[in-house]
A and B are shown apart, each in its own frame.
Chain A
């Protein structure tokens, strides 16, 4: 696998807050990444630095092996779909797509036209007057039709209803399958996108707390449910990341895969094992990080 993006010891400080705290990671070619984390964790800051829309305080960034700053050759190969993209006051979607077509060398007008129909986007209305969902649709259409070698989608679905989000996921996956490229998707709706992701980067308080294949995270944690004393006996000495009790029943979420012996023991003890979704796991992990690291930015 070749890396399209390499980040080494990246830090970004604003006055007295540290938004990104000495992180290093690489993004491999032609994979779909999930960039996940809570609000204010540093996701947008990282993406805007990688696309040269913001400056790092310290650290080294390479995109296609080069620095992205004032580097037109690198920037035309990247597309950043921002949550709060600004357009000129009198621009319509027609104008926005015309400019995108000029800027992105791999632009596919057929894909754009189809998405415009599917999202029922009014082409002659000024972008300023569009609804939040229609505004998001403009960004999503540009992001998919641009076929840039690296595409960032930063919370691209704001205001999109469930049907429109499904159109986005389906068309993205379809187009990616035919034209593999690197996609970095930042999202809060982790359960919705989990199956699309090949790799997951989780940022919390400006640091990377998870950088792994999605498949290897599956089955990483499980929840054990049963009578409190029996559950406690089983979880003793294991890493419990969450615990809840109701009457005499306790549910404990454990980190670490269960062995076949564990499973036999659990079933003999009459304990139930529930799977933990990627979203649940990340919620627990990022909750914990806040408790253990109070000095960091939230």
Chain B
């Protein structure tokens, strides 16, 4: 799961964010501790602590003294907004780059996208 190119604490923070976004970690629930994250990802606890600190700075986690870290109210909405605004940079730009290389225009992409979305939905409902 570790991507060499990016700071590890960012990746740890993102893994916690992902759990909040997909609902496996709900608001007001206790977040994993620094030591739990370190043991699970097999990383130095100081690195895990840096990831957690980033999430508290952002207002995603709140500290309850003596108990631990909890997911803040409104954390999911905050993360969704942030991820949506980063969506184009993160996913569309590389898609357009590759499409340009292959000689696929915006219309081709729109068609492919619609096709894929259709098959994805039928797969989803059949499950």
Contact = CB atoms under 8 A, between A and B. Distances in A.
Interface of A: 31-32, 169-170, 173-174, 176-178, 180, 195-198, 214-215, 218-219, 222, 267, 270, 273-277
Contacts of B44: 32, 173, 195-198, 214
Interface in B3-21: 3-9
Q: In the complex, which of the residues A177, A180, A196 has the most CB atoms of chain B within 10 Å of its own CB atom?
A: A177
B61 to A, nearest CB: 19
A167 B34 CA distance: 20
Contacts of B6: 218-219, 275
Contacts of B7: 215, 218-219
Contact of B43 (A178, A196, A222, A267): A196
Interface residues of B, number: 24
B97 A267 contact: yes
A157 to B, nearest CB: 15
Nearest to A31: B46
Nearest to A197: B44
A176 B42 CA distance: 12
Given A32-B44, A196-B43, A218 B8 contact: yes
B35 A177 contact: yes
B9 A215 contact: yes
Given A197-B44, A215-B47, A222 B101 contact: no
B38 A275 contact: no
B46 A218 contact: no
Given A177-B35, A267-B97, A196 B4 contact: no
B2 interface: yes
Nearest to B38: A177
A170 B8 contact: no
Q: In the complex, which of the residues B47, B94, B97 has the most CB atoms of chain A within 10 Å of its own CB atom?
A: B47
Nearest to B37: A177
Contact of B47 (A198, A267, A277): A198
A215 B8 contact: yes
A132 B41 CA distance: 29
Contact of A219 (B5, B9, B93): B5
Contacts of A276: 4
B93 to A, nearest CB: 8
Contacts of B101: 270
A215 B50 contact: yes
B39 interface: yes
A173 B38 contact: yes
B4 A170 contact: no
